[in-house]
Amino acid sequence: MKYHSLARSADNIPDLSYKIWEKRNLVSRLLSILAGVFSFLCVLPLVAVLAYILIKGMSTFSLDLFTQLPPPPGGEGGGFGNAIIGSIVVTTIATLIAIPIGVGGGIYLAEYSTGRGFSQFIRFGTNVLAGVPSIIAGVFVYGVIVSTRILFGNTFSAIAGGTALSVLMLPTVVKTTDEGLKLVSNDLRRAALGVGASRFVTVSQITLPKAFTPIATGVVLSIARAAGETAPLIFTALFSPFWPNGIFDPIATLSVLIYNFAAQPYDLQNQLAWSASFILVVFILALNLLARWLGRFASK
């Protein structure tokens, strides 16, 4: 009797082997292939852009690009060392403006706000500002700083360009600071307050250092976005074919140089535009890789 019961139970065991030609398995494989194709198509534009810029930009790559000024129309040789320095100067000014304001705003939202009224308005305004076209920031700074000559009577200048870029950086810095501080355990805050630390000491000595990595990631991403903007700088920093004279004068940047030289009917200027595009893409790619590394470091 026991043998027959075991035999009957063995007959009732379903066949769990993988059948490749079953309809559900065929559909699953087809959908997996489609997902892979669509994923490849998502990455294909990036690969194509990087490959094309690498081919076009590296063909005349030399040290002169970093040490010489742009040639006049129809001239020979030259580089764009002034534009490289100008991009660094303008981005640095934007960073110095955006980091204190953005980090301060994120600290207020995460540590001091009550989640009502004014803080909700700040969060909503930050989200709206993140979607504002970059040219609007350029027109705004042009109307407030450039056209009014408020900076010691100067019009187009590096500091005006940095101010325009800082407007674009602010939403990213505020949101990453806010979210980074929210990741810090409330037990650390309670422990600090329990031993008599003030709110300022708790934020500056406990929560802010703990959230340093995600905040730094947001700052790097915001710098990467600002470094590649062109429209705000056309209205604010303008362009200069000479070496930078100061932050209150017009200054050359890589993005505006690419915009100007790509439209000129001269092969040399077009080639310099491709080389500048290559350097700018490498710089932005390096910043994104740094932000990715910081993000992985934060998750450990």
Number of neighbours of residue 84 by Cβ within 10 angstroms: 21
Distance CA 219, CA 120 (A): 22
Crossing angle for the helix pair 212-227 and 158-182, to the nearest 10 degrees:
150
Q: Which residue shows structure tokens 């742009």?
A: 70
Dist. CA 280–CA 250, nearest whole Å: 20
DSSP bridge pairs for 151: 154
Looking at residue 249, its pLDDT comes to: 92
Provide the 8-state DSSP code for 146: I
pLDDT of residue 2: 47
Enclosing H/E stretch for 163 = helix 158-182
Q: Are 170 and 98 in contact (CB under 8 A)?
A: yes
Q: What percent of the chain has pLDDT over 90?
A: 39
pLDDT confidence tier of residue 199, bands split at 50, 70 and 90: confident
Q: Which of 88-102, 177-191, 201-215, 285-299 has the lowest mean pLDDT?
A: 285-299
Name the pLDDT band for 157 (thresholds 50, 70, 90): very high
- Distance between CA atoms of residues 70 and 253, nearest Å: 12
| Residue 15 pLDDT > 70 | no
pLDDT at 296 exceeding the cut of 60: yes
Residue recorded with tokens 């950086």:
169
Mean pLDDT for the stretch of residues 164-187: 91
Contact between residue 146 and residue 77 where contact means Cβ atoms under 8 Å apart: no
Kindly report the number of other CB atoms within 10 A of residue 253's CB atom.
33
Nearest of 81, 107, 297, 90 to residue 206 by alpha carbon: 107
Share of the chain above pLDDT 70, in %: 92
Q: Is the dihedral of CA 122, 134, 169, 252 positive or negative?
A: negative
Q: What is the mean pLDDT of residues 28-45?
A: 91
Q: Which has more confidence, 152 or 98?
A: 98
Which residues share a beta bridge with 89? none
Q: Contact, 243 vs 85, CB < 8 A? A: yes
Tokens of 89: 């100067």
The model carries a pTM of 0.83
Under 8 Å between Cβ of 183 and 214? yes
With cut-offs at 50, 70 and 90, classify the pLDDT of residue 258.
very high
Best mean pLDDT range from 3-12, 129-138, 187-196:
129-138
Q: Is residue 222 within 8 Å of 98, Cβ to Cβ?
A: yes
Average pLDDT over the chain, rounded to whole?
86
